[in-house]
Amino acid sequence: LHDTVEDTDLTFEQVEGMFGLEVRNIVEGETKVSKLPKLAFADYADEQAENLRQMFIAMTDDYRIIIVKLADRLHNMRTLRFMKPEKQKKISRETLDIFAPLAHRMGIWQVKSELEDISFMYLYPDEYKKVNSILNRRRNKIVDTLDHSVKVLKETLRNDPTLRSQDVEIEVVGRTKEIYSLWHKMEMKHDRNLDHIADLVALRVILTPGDSIVKATQSADSGVWLCYHVLGLVQH
C-alpha cells in the first residue's frame, strides 16, 4: 500500500476505512518521508547525507515506516537493471549514502549488506568484478574455514560447565565479509592483498536467555554477563 496514495486516486481516509488507523499512519508516514531524498543536492556530502538520515528518524513516530521504506528501496535496487545507466548511478549513490546506513542503524544487517553490494555493483562495476573474482577464487577455502571454526566453537561452548548450567539457547553462525565492505576496507588500508584483511570471515554467537534467567534478573540485560563469558572463551 505504500505508493497507492501517491500513484492512484486512493485517499488516506479510504486506506483507513479498509485497513484501519494503524495501517493508514504507516502509509501516510512513508509517503511523507519518501520526499526527503529529493531535497538533496547533486553530490551527496557526508554531512548532508547524515542530516537526511537524522530527518528520516526525527519525522518517524513508528519505526515500521522506515522498515517499509527500506523494503521498498531494496525492491527498487533488485530491479535496477531495468533503469537507464544515469538513473542506476543516481539511485545507487542515494542508497549507499542514506538508506544503507539507515538499515545499519536499525540493526537490519542483511538489508544493509545487500543495499551496499548492489549499489557498489552499479557505481564501481570494475572494482566490483575484481573483488568478486578474488572472493570466488577463495570461496572453497573460506567455506571450509568457516565450517571448521563453527564446529570447534560450538563444541567449546557446548562443553563449558558455566553455559551448561544456564537456561540459555546458543546459536553460532559464520559469515564472509560483504563485497562492498571488503573493498572499502582495502581502500582505507591502501592494500589490495586479501591476506591482510583480518576479518574476511567472522563468527557470531547469539545467546537467548531462557525465562528463568529473565525472571531472576528482571532486566533486559540479563544475558550480558553470559556474552562476556563467551567472549572470554573465544579469546582463550
Just list the catalytic residues: 6-7
Short-list 78, 103, 106, 105, CA closest to 92 = 78
Rounded distance between C-alpha atoms, residue 225 and residue 219, angstroms:
12
26: its cell numbers:
504507516
Q: Looking at the DSSP assignment, which residues form a beta bridge with residue 169? A: 208
Helix (H) or strand (E) holding 207: strand 201-209
Burial annotation 109-148 (CB, 10 A radius, 16+ → b, else e): eebbbbbbbbbbbbbeeebbeebbebbeeeeeebeeebee
153-157 long-range contacts (CB < 8 A, ≥24 apart) are 153/203, 153/205, 153/234, 156/233, 157/205, 157/230, 157/233
Map grid coordinates 540459555 to a residue. 168
210: its cell numbers:
531462557
Is 29 exposed, middle or buried, given 0-12, 13-18 or 19+ CB atoms closer than 10 A? buried
Helix (H) or strand (E) holding 119: helix 109-123
